[in-house]
Structure 1
Amino acid sequence: MTNNTGKIVQIISAVVDVHFSDNNSLPKILNALECNNNGSKVILEVAQHIGDNIARCISMHPTDGL
C-alpha cells in the first residue's frame, strides 16, 4: 500500500475528482482511496483517469462535508 496524497477538486453527489501532484502518484483504476471527513473515514473507489493527473472516484459513503 502506498501513501499518496491528493486534493479533492470537485464533488458532484457521489462522484469525487481527486488531483494528484504527478502522474506517478495517480492510483490505478479500482484502487481505494481513503479521506478524512471531520473524523470519519470516507472510502473512494477510482473509476476513471480523466487527464491532468485527476482520478474520478465514486464515494462509498456520504460526501456531505467534504
Structure 2
Amino acid sequence: MPKMKTKSSCKKRFSMTATGKVKGSQAGKQHGMIKRSNKFLRNARGTTLLSAPDAKIIKSFMPYAR
C-alpha cells in the first residue's frame, strides 16, 4: 500500500504538540489592523491550540504527524 500524502497547506500552517494537540497561529492578523482594537491585537499574538472539532479535521490531513 502506498504512503499517504500530507496536505502541504496544513504542514505549513499547523504543528502538533507532544500531547497530540494541534497548534496554529491566531486568526484575524493578516490585514486590516487599523479597524481592530488594541486589546484584540494584544490577545491575538503568538499561537493557540485549535478546538477539538477543528483539530480532528487537521489531523486527517496530516496522517504522520500524530
- TM-score calculated relative to the size of structure 2: 0.28
**Structure with greater proportional strand content:** 1
**Structure with greater proportional helix content:** 2
Question: Of the two, which has the highest radius of gyration?
Answer: 2
- TM-score calculated relative to the size of structure 1: 0.28
